[in-house]
C-alpha cells in the first residue's frame, strides 16, 4: 500500500517567494507512526527540523526499542537553511577504555560465540543521548523538556506494540531472558508477548526526564550513570565512570561528490556508508545504465558494489585512529581504474581481490528518518543499537537497552562479523575508538530537487541507498526509491543477495552465465524513509518503505 502523501501544489506566486525561503510545509518520514507524530507535535509547537529530529529519535527509542535507542548511537546529517551549514553529527558509540583488540577471542584466537553480541560485555559507550543534547543545544529552538516530552509520554503511558515488535521479541526471548531487567520490560511475564501487548517503559521515562532536565549529565553522570555502571559491571561488562564522562559527540564534514549532475552528500567515517556509496557511484558514472538492458545494468552495479565494499574492508575505520585514504577512494580517477577492471561479459570472483568465505545474516535492526521543515532545514538520520534488541541487556533501574555495537569492530581481523563483513586492522578494537558503521543517511541535490533518504539493514544499507540514488537519477520520486526491489553484493561473501522478486529467472540465469552466484533472502529487507522537496514545483513529498510500519506525511 502506498504511504506517499504529496502536499497541495502552491500557486506560482507563492512558489517564487517560498522557494527562496523554504517549502512552507514540513515532511517527516519515519519508521513508526508514533515517531512521525512526535515530530509533527514538536514542529507545531514552533520547533524546527532539528527539534523534530530530537523528538523523532527519542520516540523511536521508545516505540521501536528493537531497532535503536538511547543505549545506542547514530549519525544525523543536517543542513541549516539560514546559513547552509551542512554537517554530520557523529553520535556513534565508543569502545570502553578497558577494551582490547582480542577481548572477544578465546585462548586459541577464535571468536567466543555471542561474546560481542549478547550481554553487557558487547556494549559500546552510547552516543545517542549526547547527540540529542548537542542537536537541541546548537541547532534547535525548543528546550529538551519540550522535544523529549512525546517520548517520555509514550514510555510512561505505554502503547500497543506493533507486529514487528511482537515478532522481534518472540525471536529474541531467550537472549532477553538472560537479562532480568530486559525480560521484565520487553517480554510478557517471561513469555513472548502476543498481539495487543502494551509496552510500558517507566524506568526509561525517568531516564529521559533526567536528560530533559540535566542534559548530558542526566545520562553520563549522576543517577543514570550509577545505574548503568553498576548494571554493566554486574553483567560482566567493563565500563568505567570515565568512559561515560568522556563521551563526546563529533561534528564531521560529510563526504560529498557528484553523480550525473547530482550532488551527493553522505555519511563520513566512522561510517563507511558515504565512502562506499560515492565510490560505487563514481565507478558507475562511466557506464550507461540503460532501462532496456536490466541485466547489463545489474551486472555493473554488482561489480561496482564488489569493489567499493572491498575497499571498505581494507581501509575504513575511525578516522581518529587510522589514516583513511579518503581523497583517493573518492577520486573519479581512482574509480576509472576500478571501472577498467570490470568486464561486461564476466563477473570478477571476489577471491581475485582477497580470499575468505563467510556467511551473513541481517535483522530488522537499526532505523532511519528524514525531515524537512517549512524553512528548508534538513535532517536525515540513521540510528542503531546494532542487532535486534542490541545486546538484549538492560542495566536494572535505567530502562536503557544497551547496544551490541562492539560487534561492528573487526572482532577478529580477517573474520566476518554478524553481517558477514570482514574487517581489517583499520577497524580493530581500541579503547575510545568508534566502530565502523554502514549507516548511510544521504542528501541528494540538483538545481530543482533536494532529497533525503536512508534505511536500516546492516551491511545492505549502502546498496539500498545506492539503488535509491540511481532511481532518483532516473527522475523518480520517494515512493519509487523506497519500494524498489533490492539486490546486494558486499564483496564477501561472493554472492548476490536479492529479496524475493527483485530478480526474475531470466536475470538470474543471465547473470549466472557471467559467473555471479545468488542467494534469495528469506524475506524483503530494508525500511527506507525518504522525503523530496521539488523546488521548481514547490512540492514536498515523502514516503515510507512499504516493507515496514512507518508513516510519511506532509503538513
Which residues are catalytically annotated?
Answer: 366
CB 409 to ligand GLY: min, Å: 11
CB 480 to ligand GLY: min, Å: 25
Closest to 226 measured CA to CA, from 32, 234, 257, 408? 234
Size of the site for ligand GLY (CB under 6 A): 9
Q: Does the protein bind ligand GLY through residue 408 (CB under 6 A)?
A: yes
Measured CA angle at 154 (ends 547, 221), to 5 deg: 110
Footprint (CB under 6 A) of ligand GLY, residues 361-380? 366
CB 460 to ligand GLY: min, Å: 10
CB 259 to ligand GLY: min, Å: 22
Nearer of residues 136 and 367 to ligand GLY, judged by Cβ: 367
Stretch that binds ligand GLY, among 259-267, 328-336, 425-433, 434-442 (CB under 6 A): 434-442
CB 317 to ligand GLY: min, Å: 13
Q: Which residues contact 83 (CB under 8 A, 6 or more apart)?
A: none
Q: Which residues contact 478 (CB under 8 A, 6 or more apart)?
A: 4, 29, 451, 453, 530, 531, 532, 541, 542, 543, 552
Asked if 409 and 75 count as a contact pair (C-beta separation under 8 A), the reply is no
Among 384, 442, 529, 544, binds ligand GLY (CB under 6 A): 384
Q: Does the protein bind ligand GLY through residue 67 (CB under 6 A)?
A: no
Q: Is 331 annotated as a binding residue?
A: no
Nearer of residues 342 and 421 to ligand GLY, judged by Cβ: 421
Nearer of residues 154 and 324 to ligand GLY, judged by Cβ: 324
Q: Does the protein bind ligand GLY through residue 71 (CB under 6 A)?
A: no
CB 159 to ligand GLY: min, Å: 25
Q: Does the protein bind ligand GLY through residue 458 (CB under 6 A)?
A: yes
The torsion of the CA quartet 243, 411, 419, 91, rounded to 10 degrees, works out to 20
How many C-beta atoms surround the C-beta of residue 83 within 10 A? Answer: 7
How many C-beta atoms surround the C-beta of residue 189 within 10 A? Answer: 7
Instruction: Point out the residue whose Cβ comes nearest to ligand GLY.
Output: 437
Nearer of residues 103 and 439 to ligand GLY, judged by Cβ: 439
Q: Is 386 annotated as a binding residue?
A: yes
CB 389 to ligand GLY: min, Å: 13
Cell of 489: 553484493
Instruction: Give 125's DSSP letter.
Output: B
Among 437, 463, 529, 541, binds ligand GLY (CB under 6 A): 437
Nearer of residues 24 and 454 to ligand GLY, judged by Cβ: 454
Q: Which residue has the cell 555471479?
A: 516
Nearer of residues 408 and 499 to ligand GLY, judged by Cβ: 408
Instruction: Give 68's DSSP letter.
Output: -
How many C-beta atoms surround the C-beta of residue 388 within 10 A? Answer: 22
Asked if 402 and 126 count as a contact pair (C-beta separation under 8 A), the reply is yes
For residues 262-272, one letter each, b for 16 or more C-beta atoms within 10 angstroms of the residue's C-beta and e for the rest, the string is bebbbbbbbbb
Measured CA angle at 178 (ends 99, 459), to 5 deg: 55
Nearer of residues 23 and 72 to ligand GLY, judged by Cβ: 72
Nearer of residues 370 and 438 to ligand GLY, judged by Cβ: 438
Q: Does the protein bind ligand GLY through residue 490 (CB under 6 A)?
A: no
How many C-beta atoms surround the C-beta of residue 94 within 10 A? Answer: 25
Closest to 252 measured CA to CA, from 266, 240, 239, 241? 266
Among 123, 394, 429, 439, binds ligand GLY (CB under 6 A): 439
How many C-beta atoms surround the C-beta of residue 518 within 10 A? Answer: 15
Q: Which residue has the cell 526491489?
A: 485
CB 280 to ligand GLY: min, Å: 16
Q: Is 458 annotated as a binding residue?
A: yes
Stretch that binds ligand GLY, among 1-9, 436-444, 446-454, 535-543 (CB under 6 A): 436-444
Q: Which residue has the cell 570515565?
A: 242
Among 67, 438, 463, 529, binds ligand GLY (CB under 6 A): 438
Q: Does the protein bind ligand GLY through residue 417 (CB under 6 A)?
A: no
DSSP per position, 236-304: T----HHHHHT---EEEPPEEEEETTEEEEEPPTTBSHHHHHHHHHHHHTTS---TT-HHHHHHHHHHH
Among 116, 386, 529, 541, binds ligand GLY (CB under 6 A): 386
Q: Is 384 annotated as a binding residue?
A: yes
For residues 233 and 33, what is the distance between their CA atoms, to the nearest angstrom? 36
Annotated binding site: 92, 384-386, 408, 437-438, 458
Residues that bind ligand GLY (CB under 6 A): 366, 384, 386, 405, 408, 437-439, 458
Annotated binding site for L-glutamate: 92, 384-386, 408, 437-438, 458
Amino acid at each position: 500500500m502506498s504511504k506517499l502523501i504529496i502536499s497541495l501544489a502552491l500557486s506560482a506566486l507563492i512558489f517564487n517567494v517560498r522557494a527562496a525561503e523554504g517549502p512552507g510545509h514540513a515532511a517527516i518520514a519515519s519508521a513508526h507512526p508514533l515517531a512521525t507524530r512526535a515530530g509533527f507535535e514538536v514542529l507545531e509547537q514552533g520547533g524546527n527540523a532539528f527539534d523534530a529530529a530530537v523528538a523523532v529519535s527519542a520516540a523511536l527509542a521508545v516505540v521501536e526499542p528493537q531497532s535503536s535507542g538511547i543505549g545506542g548511537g547514530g549519525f544525523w546529517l543536517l543542513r541549516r537553511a539560514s546559513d547552509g551549514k551542512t554537517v554530520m553529527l557523529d553520535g556513534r558509540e565508543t569502545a570502553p577504555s578497558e577494551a582490547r583488540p582480542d577481548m572477544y577471542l578465546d585462548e586459541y584466537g577464535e571468536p567466543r560465540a555471542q561474546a560481542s553480541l549478547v550481554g553487557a560485555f558487547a556494549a559500546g559507550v552510547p552516543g545517542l543521548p549526547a547527540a540529542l543534547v548537542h542537536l537541541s543545544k546548537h541547532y534547535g529552538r525548543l528546550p529538551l523538556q519540550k522535544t523529549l516530552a512525546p517520548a517520555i509520554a509514550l514510555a510512561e503511558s505505554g502503547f500497543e506494540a506493533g507486529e514487528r515488535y511482537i515478532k522481534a521479541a518472540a525471536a529474541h526471548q531467550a537472549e532477553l531472558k538472560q537479562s532480568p531487567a530486559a525480560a521484565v520490560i520487553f517480554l510478557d511475564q517471561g513469555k513472548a508477548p502476543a498481539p495487543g501487548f502494551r509496552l510500558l517503559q517507566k524506568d526509561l521515562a525517568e531516564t529521559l526526564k533526567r536528560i530533559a532536565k540535566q542534559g548530558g549529565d542526566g545520562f553520563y553522570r549522576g543517577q543514570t550513570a550509577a545505574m548503568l555502571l553498576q548494571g554493566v559491571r554486574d553483567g560482566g561488562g567493563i565500563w568505567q565512570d570515565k568512559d561515560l564522562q568522556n563521551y563526546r559527540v563529533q561534528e564531521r564534514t560529510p563526504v560529498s561528490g557528484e553523480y550525473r549532475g547530482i550532488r551527493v552528500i553522505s555519511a563520513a567515517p566512522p561510517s563507511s556508508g558515504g565512502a562506499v556509496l560515492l565510490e560505487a557511484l563514481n565507478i558507475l558514472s562511466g557506464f550507461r545504465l540503460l532501462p532496456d538492458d536490466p541485466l547489463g545494468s545489474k551486472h555493473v552495479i554488482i561489480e561496482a558494489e564488489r569493489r567499493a565494499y572491498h575497499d571498505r574492508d581494507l581501509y575504513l575505520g575511525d578516522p581518529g585512529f587510522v589514516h583513511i585514504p579518503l581523497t583517493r577512494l573518492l577520486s573519479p580517477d581512482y574509480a576509472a581504474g576500478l571501472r577498467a577492471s570490470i568486464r561486461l561479459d564476466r563477473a570478477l570472483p571476489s577471491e581475485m581481490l582477497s580470499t575468505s568465505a563467510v556467511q551473513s545474516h541481517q535483522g530488522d535492526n537499526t532505523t532511519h528518518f528524514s525531515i524537512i521543515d517549512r524553512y528548508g532545514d534538513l535532517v536525515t538520520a540513521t540510528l542503531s543499537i546494532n542487532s535486534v534488541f542490541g545486546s538484549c541487556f538492560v542495566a536494572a533501574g535505567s530502562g536503557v537497552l544497551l547496544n551490541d555495537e562492539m560487534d561492528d569492530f573487526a572482532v577478529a581481523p580477517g573474520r566476518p562479523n554478524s553481517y558477514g563483513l570482514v574487517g581489517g586492522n583499520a577497524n580493530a578494537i581500541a579503547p575510545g575508538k568508534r566502530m565502523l558503521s554502514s549507516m548511510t543517511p544521504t542528501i541528494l541535490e540538483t538545481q530543482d530537487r533536494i532529497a533525503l533518504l536512508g534505511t536500516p539493514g546492516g551491511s545492505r544499507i549502502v546498496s539500498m541507498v545506492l539503488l535509491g540514488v540511481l532511481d532518483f537519477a532516473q527522475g523518480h520520486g520517494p515512493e519509487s526509491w523506497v519500494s524498489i526491489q533490492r539486490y546486494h553484493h558486499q564483496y564477501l561473501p561472493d554472492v548476490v543477495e536479492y529479496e524475493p522478486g527483485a530478480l526474475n529467472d531470466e536475470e538470474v540465469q543471465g547473470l549466472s552465465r557471467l559467473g555471479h552466484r545468488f542467494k534469495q533472502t528469506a524475506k524483503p529487507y530494508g525500511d527506507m524513509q525518504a522525503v523530496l522537496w521539488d523546488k521548481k514545483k514547490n512540492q514536498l513529498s515523502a514516503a515510507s518503505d512499504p516493507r515496514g510500519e512507518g508513516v510519511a506525511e506532509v503538513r
